[in-house]
Chains A and B, each alone.
Chain A
Amino acid sequence: MTENERPSFEEALKELESIVERLEDAEITLEESVELYEKGLELSKFCNEILEKAELRIEQVNEAQE
């Protein structure tokens, strides 16, 4: 929750899904389509980066009680 301004992976993926849905809608104009394409490209890069940079982090939240 450190990257507050950036969307979470899930949010980005959801937005990408909705872009695909809208692109597949026949009612769309060419200008909209190009705009959506650019946004889709950006989101897919963003998601990909998160996936490829991911590294499991582990933190113990209470004191060890041995």
Chain B
Amino acid sequence: MAEQIPFLFDIPTVTQLTDQIKSLLEKNFMDILVEGEASNVKQSANGHIYFTLKDSGAQLPCVIWRSTAQRLGIQLTDGQQIVVGGDIQVYAPHGRYQMIVTLVQQAGIGKLQQAFEELKAKLKAEGLFEDIHKRALPKFPQTIGVVTSKTTAAFQDIRSTLEKRWPLAKVKLYHASVQGINAAPEIVKGIEYFSREKNVDLVIISRGGGSLEDLWPFNEEAVARAVFECELPLISAVGHEVDFSISDFVADLRAATPTQAAVLATPDINEVRMNLEDLYRRVELNTKGMVQYYKDRVGALARSHALLAVQQKMAQARANIKNMKDRISHRTSLQINERRTALTSLLHRLDKQDPNEPLEKGFVRVWQDGKWIRQAGSFTEKAPVELQWKDKRIEI
């Protein structure tokens, strides 16, 4: 210290000084509004919400008491551009000042436009918009998760489009506000729910047209991060054709409108019907074609020369066999006849050889000693003789 502090009787204590600051600040900054970005949002065990409102040059600690948070239904996430209303309070024991927040609103349009460009540049630099992160959509989704407000036209558009185009689908709706300060945290919860449960084939986040302020939740960093982290294919459909939101850039696919989201998410049932008909026709055509082909081939073979030649050979062979059979039977019967004739003549000749025949004509046979005496040399004189006639034998 170069100079000695002048001696004074009324030097305040820290408490006195802080009390002066407190009354000065609290009187002058009562019921004020301030705009900035919410960061470091935390909820204490008692349910109070602590956060820091910041911009590029300064930070302001803020608290929303639990009762206020509940009454206003306030939910906050990091990165939200907001206007808060309330009173500056100095907390003497810590020598700190902070804002007791009684009102939270979305930031004004100027601030939002600036924040939009900044966040877009930041996320783009981080690579969140890159094509390599884009997931392919399922061709025939069975279940579709939709994060939107059930009371909006956007949901009705999605619903009626799905009814027409792809009624096979089952829709799981995660109802979330799509406008106002609570919207971003609710949309994030919806995306996280589907990503965690994996009970759908793809997710659509959507809302209808509106002002930049209305569409703002879809430009919040928290929503962009949730879309990026989502483990299912996700379509972002926010506002009208001309509106682009940060979620559109991060999503796997951007749809210009809620209706278009439903169109992009699903095949057209009429096209599928026609495709199915075509497939069936091809099944039928090919099978019938093949059967016909084989029929024709069998027919052609039946009429082929080779087969005809075989048939002719077989006919020839059959004729030969018949011929030979005929000849065999002819010869056999011929031989039988010959033998029969021979036999007859033999019998006839046998008839003629009958030794009794001469007796019939009156000749006499001479017997001696039981023997037929056929010549004079065999005759024994003076021995008894037996004469045989046709009708009688007499011994002399």
Residues of A within 8 A of B (CB): 1, 8-10, 13, 16-17, 19-20, 23-24, 28, 30, 33-34, 36-37, 40-41, 44, 47-48, 50-51, 54-62, 64-65
Contact = CB atoms under 8 A, between A and B. Distances in A.
Given A10-B139, A13-B140, A20 B286 contact: yes
Interface string B142-154: 1101000010000
B140 A10 contact: yes
A10 B276 CA distance: 12
Interface of B: 138-140, 142-143, 145, 150, 159, 162-163, 166-177, 186, 189-190, 193, 199, 269, 272-273, 275-276, 279-280, 282-284, 286-287, 290-291, 294
A20 to B, nearest CB: 5
Contacts of B193: 61-62
Contacts of A51: 168, 269, 272-273, 276
A30 B150 contact: no
B151 to A, nearest CB: 9
A44 B142 contact: no
Nearest to A55: B167
Contacts of B286: 20, 23-24, 33
Contacts of A28: 290
A40 B286 CA distance: 11
Nearest to B73: A65
Nearest to A20: B282
Given A13-B275, A60-B174, A61-B199, 18 more contacts: A8-B142, A10-B142, A19-B283, A20-B282, A20-B283, A30-B291, A30-B294, A33-B286, A37-B284, A47-B276, A51-B276, A54-B166, A58-B170, A59-B170, A61-B173, A62-B189, A62-B193, A65-B175
A61 B173 CA distance: 6
Nearest to A57: B170
Contacts of B168: 9, 50-51, 54
A37 B287 CA distance: 6
Nearest to B163: A56
